[in-house]
Structure 1
Amino acid sequence: MSAKILALDTATENCSVALLVDEKVYVRSEVAPRDHTKKILPMVDEVLKEAGLALTDLDALAFGRGPGSFTGVRIGIGIAQGLAFGADLPMIGVSTLEAMAQGCFRLNKAEHVACAIDARMSEVYWGRFVRQQDGTWLQFDEEQVVRPALLAENSQTDEHVWATAGTGWDAYSEELSGLKFKRESSDVLFPDAEDIVHIAKFELEKGNTVDVEDASPTYLRDTVAWKKLPGRE
């Protein structure tokens, strides 16, 4: 299936944009934890210009739905909604944890990935993923926010070696050292729109899109209020 999908993500310190046009991907990515609002739209303009396309030429707009920084997730989904609303595009939310798993496969061919993002407050955003033969990812552990020591205490051994991705591994290395399954480190610290757009292509093929007003974040912590577009609560 040919597709034209724009993806963006600001859920962590990394700010990234990717444009998929059939099999070609145009990317921009920069670790800029305090400059997402300044950098994301120029990145969008750059990839569209490079591909010679306008927003209205696209089939869908994908975004990193979280988990991640509350502010970063809000920035990303708000900008994505604004772009999609103006161009009348369906939206696709992609887990930032799953995107890191795809990043591990893209860079290291890892097919079993354990993702941990530093969630502050002595917790991590956690999820494990297994790559399927068709290129999609199966969620092995439910995505959750959890204390690393509790995660280690409740872990079990298995026959796989899990590639580790995310900032949580360095932030809580002592606590996570108690995990009972085998691990190998990777260079993937953050989700990237290049991987989000890859996952979004599968979701578009399945028809898994939402209207702009129904696009929502995944915080995992349930104490954060979210407001959709003005007038669309």
Structure 2
Amino acid sequence: MKLLAVDSATAQLAVGVCDGNGEWRRDLLDHTAHAGRLPAVVHEVLTEAGIAARDLDGLIAGIGPGSFAGLRTGLGFAQAMAWALRIPIVTVGSLECMAATLLGHAGTKLAVPVLDARMGAVYLGVYRGAEDAPECVAPPEELAADEVSARIAGIRDVPERGIALGGNGLLLDGADALRDRAWAGFTPGLFPTAAILLAIGRRRFASGAAVDVDALRPLYVRDRVALTAAERAAGATLGIGAART
């Protein structure tokens, strides 16, 4: 099965192609907008694989959470290709993709990806299971950066050495203190990768988990990133997940 995977929700642009014989991947860490790069990178990887877009059997799309602009770029691109080529699509969340990498660490029983959500907040989830089939224990949520330690400390029945942490949210004030404890893994440079997108995506296609392209929706987690003029005039500020005064 010839598949294309695309994720641009985070600071790392991940593009991958696979067929029955091999994989061709790009993971490009770039803190600027992905919009101008994505089509060229997809073309480059497809050319390297020797696969024409018209020969693709399916698409794997990253659905977030992450940057609003980056997420819309990648998801819109994948959705447009699926419509144009009339091929099915499966989705992979940013945090579950990161969790899959963490679940590959020896001794890991739980994976906790922590992604910088900006504005002093993080996106955090809790997962268990296999590398290519992470199972969500606690769904993605938005937390203040200084609440991360307490949230992880609240995980019961699994000792620290059985928990793997990863993601740039671990480098924020209030979370970096976690670094020196005895984890199964601590990987602050972790982002979604093309290899994991392809691994999870292949499994989902095999299980018949394709989604309706018309109903495809991003996983924002955070509802708002701006205030109305009236809210600004009233002195409101954006808190965790909503405007507050």
TM class by smaller structure? 0.7 to 0.9
Cα gap change, 1:178 to 1:15, in 2 (>3 Å): closer
Cα gap change, 1:177 to 1:13, in 2 (>3 Å): same
Structure number with greater CO (CA < 8 Å, separation at least 6) is 1
The amino acid that maps onto 1:209 is A
Q: Deviations over 1:14-53 (max 9, x none)?
A: 1120012125210012112224122211111122112221
Q: 1:102 Cα deviation (Å)?
A: 2.2
Query: Structure 2 CA distance, aligned partners of 1:164 and 1:87?
Result: 38
Q: Deviations over 1:136-160 (max 9, x none)?
A: 1111222111124334334234235
TM-score (normalised: structure 2): 0.80
Checking the alignment, whether the CA contact within 8 Å between 1:148 and 1:176 is kept in structure 2 is no
Query: Structure 2 CA distance, aligned partners of 1:147 and 1:127?
Result: 14
Partner of 1:31: 29
Query: Structure 2 CA distance, aligned partners of 1:28 and 1:50?
Result: 11
Partner of 1:163: 164
Cα gap change, 1:135 to 1:14, in 2 (>3 Å): closer
The amino acid that maps onto 1:221 is R
Q: Which has the larger radius of gyration?
A: 2
Checking the alignment, whether the CA contact within 8 Å between 1:16 and 1:40 is kept in structure 2 is no
TM-score (normalised: structure 1): 0.83
Where structure 2 has 5 or more consecutive residues not aligned to the other structure, the ranges are 227-245
- Is 1:197–2:198 an aligned residue pair? yes
The amino acid that maps onto 2:88 is P
For the aligned residues, what is the CA RMSD?
2.5
SS at match of 2:202: helix
Cα gap change, 1:35 to 1:84, in 2 (>3 Å): same
SS at match of 1:12: coil
Q: 1:57 Cα deviation (Å)?
A: 1.8
Cα gap change, 1:90 to 1:99, in 2 (>3 Å): same
Aligned pairs, how many?
Answer: 219
Structure 1 runs of 4+ off > 4 angstroms?
none
Query: Structure 2 CA distance, aligned partners of 1:150 and 1:31?
Result: 27
Query: Structure 1 CA distance, aligned partners of 2:203 and 2:84?
Result: 24
Cα gap change, 1:97 to 1:23, in 2 (>3 Å): farther
Q: Deviations over 1:150-208 (max 9, x none)?
A: 34334234235222211100113x346479x9523126421122211211111111111
